[in-house]
């Protein structure tokens, strides 16, 4: 939406930072690695004020919300900091910085956004903020409570995306399964998905960040009956030990998690389940970790990510005394990922010989292969399918692909099936 605002005011958008006169950096401040990456990027872009065309450097996002005073002292190279709760005043601040003539109020609008994920795939945000208050997470204090967007407003944006030619829509929020509770008094994700399916141009619809305790029978049934909805559930489980889950202030427990996974696979036999787990949460014992490890071996998730607990300022978990040593966290992470690597390889080998509908996202540098995804993969997070390039396919095409082999790590190899 930031890009959309500048375009609306007739600024030219450039893809090379060395050509830019104004550089805007949108930061994340949720975990330590993201903060470090943001600071490094700011410093790198600040150098362009000396070596390239950059005249103004603007920094916005969650990092500014959390540490604005500290950043202003530490980074005098930055000309303007804009916090996430100042977005309605953003253009006024930019007008003052650039000494532009003052116009009528120009605010962020979802319909003004510029899509940066290609010509066929677009993300559709249905809510802001979060009210789950997991003890390790700073999002509620940064982004505020969960606020659903009105359904008609979302559908209006979706229709516009369809008119622009987008064929894959990925529905997102901090917790998509809570959508509508604050506005309508009950969860409305299933109803929203059904209405999105009625938009003619869409071929694939996905939703991410579905919290386990809020995945209802109604939602599962909607995924089953609607051909456009990918059989793909992204469920951040975080742990399996009941003791750790309780200390995390998670609403699910080991029994409900097992029942959910069993039910999903029973109801939707070809379902892809993606999840994330955290290791090294304060007080996590060897027994807690072993319980998690054994569950992963048993559950055999198609997609799994893991990360080590990061102590975040202002969160309840950061005040817990039983912090886990870095080396212990790293050891547990390595064990988890090695286990999952074997499971992933097995799951991929099971796909050989099967045929899937795939979306062409691009081509390898030498042009020998098209880079594609099936319903089993989301952009930039999951693997891809390398398809022998016949010369008759282009980006944005949907083609039938027979899987002929397993590539490196999480990728597959295939050929067009006529």
Strands 385-388 and 398-406: unpaired
The CA distance from 303 to 234, in Å, is 9
Per residue in 32-56, pLDDT (tens digit) is 777 888 899 999 999 999 999 999 9
Q: What is the CATH number of domain 355-416?
A: 2.40.50.140
- Give the homologous superfamily in CATH for domain 2-98: Methylthiotransferase, N-terminal domain (3.40.50.12160)
E-assigned strand segments in 38-120: 56-61, 80-83
- Measured distance between the N- and C-terminal CA atoms of the chain, rounded to whole angstroms: 41
Annotated domain spans of the chain: 2-98, 110-349, 355-416
Task: For the chain, give the number of residues.
Answer: 418
Per residue in 332-378, pLDDT (tens digit) is 999 999 999 999 999 999 999 999 999 999 999 999 999 999 999 99
CB atoms within 10 A of CB 154: 21
CA 205 to mean position of chain CA atoms: 15
Write the DSSP symbol of residue 352: T
Per residue in 242-264, pLDDT (tens digit) is 999 999 999 999 999 999 999 99
The architecture CATH gives domain 110-349? Alpha-Beta Horseshoe (3.80)
Q: What is the full per-residue pLDDT of the chain (418 aa) written as tens digits? A: 667 778 777 788 888 999 999 999 988 766 677 788 889 999 999 999 999 999 999 999 888 888 888 899 999 999 999 988 787 778 888 888 888 877 655 555 555 555 555 689 999 999 999 999 999 998 898 889 999 999 999 999 999 999 999 999 999 999 999 999 999 999 999 999 999 999 999 999 999 999 999 999 999 999 999 999 999 999 999 999 999 999 999 999 999 999 999 999 999 999 999 999 999 999 999 999 999 999 999 999 999 999 999 998 889 999 999 999 999 999 999 999 999 999 999 999 999 999 999 999 999 999 999 999 999 999 989 999 999 998 889 999 999 999 999 998 889 999 998 7
Closest C-alpha to 25, from 102, 53, 54: 54
Strand partners, 271: none
- Report phi then psi at 326, rounded to 5: -55, -45
The CA distance from 179 to 267, in Å, is 23
Strand partners, 171: 124, 207
């Amino acid at each position: 939406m930031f890009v959309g605002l500048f375009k609306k005011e007739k600024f030219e958008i450039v893809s090379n930072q060395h050509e830019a006169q104004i550089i805007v950096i949108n930061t994340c401040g949720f975990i330590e690695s993201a903060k470090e990456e943001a600071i490094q990027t700011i410093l790198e872009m600040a150098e362009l004020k000396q070596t390239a065309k950059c005249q103004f450097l603007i920094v916005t996002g969650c990092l500014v919300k959390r540490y604005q005073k500290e950043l202003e002292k530490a980074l005098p190279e930055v000309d303007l900091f804009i916090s996430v709760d100042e977005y309605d005043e953003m253009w006024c601040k930019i007008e003052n910085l650039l000494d532009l003539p003052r116009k009528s109020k120009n605010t962020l609008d979802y319909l003004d956004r510029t899509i940066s994920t290609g010509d066929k795939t677009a993300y559709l945000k249905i809510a802001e903020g979060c009210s789950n208050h997991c003890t390790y997470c700073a999002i509620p204090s940064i982004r505020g409570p969960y606020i659903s967007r009105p359904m008609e407003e979302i559908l209006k944006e979706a229709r516009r995306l369809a008119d622009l030619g987008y064929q894959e829509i990925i529905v997102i929020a901090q917790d998509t399964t809570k959508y509508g509770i604050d506005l309508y008094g009950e969860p409305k994700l299933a109803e929203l998905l059904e209405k999105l399916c009625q938009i003619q141009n869409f071929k694939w619809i996905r939703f991410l960040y579905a919290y386990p305790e809020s995945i209802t029978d109604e939602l599962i049934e909607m995924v089953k009956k609607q051909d456009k909805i990918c059989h793909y559930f992204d469920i951040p489980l975080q742990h399996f030990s009941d003791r750790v889950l309780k200390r995390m202030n998670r609403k699910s427990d080991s029994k409900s998690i097992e029942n959910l996974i069993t039910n999903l696979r029973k109801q939707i036999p070809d379902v892809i389940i993606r999840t994330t787990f955290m290791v090294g949460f304060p007080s996590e014992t060897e027994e807690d970790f072993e319980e998690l490890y054994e569950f992963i071996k048993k559950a055999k998730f198609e997609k799994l990510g893991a990360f080590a607990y990061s102590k975040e300022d202002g969160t309840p978990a950061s005040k817990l005394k039983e912090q886990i040593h870095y080396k212990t966290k790293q050891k547990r992470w390595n064990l988890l990922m090695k286990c999952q690597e074997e499971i992933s390889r097995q799951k991929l080998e099971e796909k050989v010989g099967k045929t899937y509908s795939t979306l062409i996202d691009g081509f390898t540098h030498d042009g020998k292969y098209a880079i594609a995804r099936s319903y089993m993969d989301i952009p930039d997070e999951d693997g891809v399918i390398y398809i022998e390039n016949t010369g008759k396919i282009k980006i944005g095409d949907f083609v039938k692909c027979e899987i002929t082999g397993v590539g490196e790590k999480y990728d597959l190899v295939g050929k067009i099936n006529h």
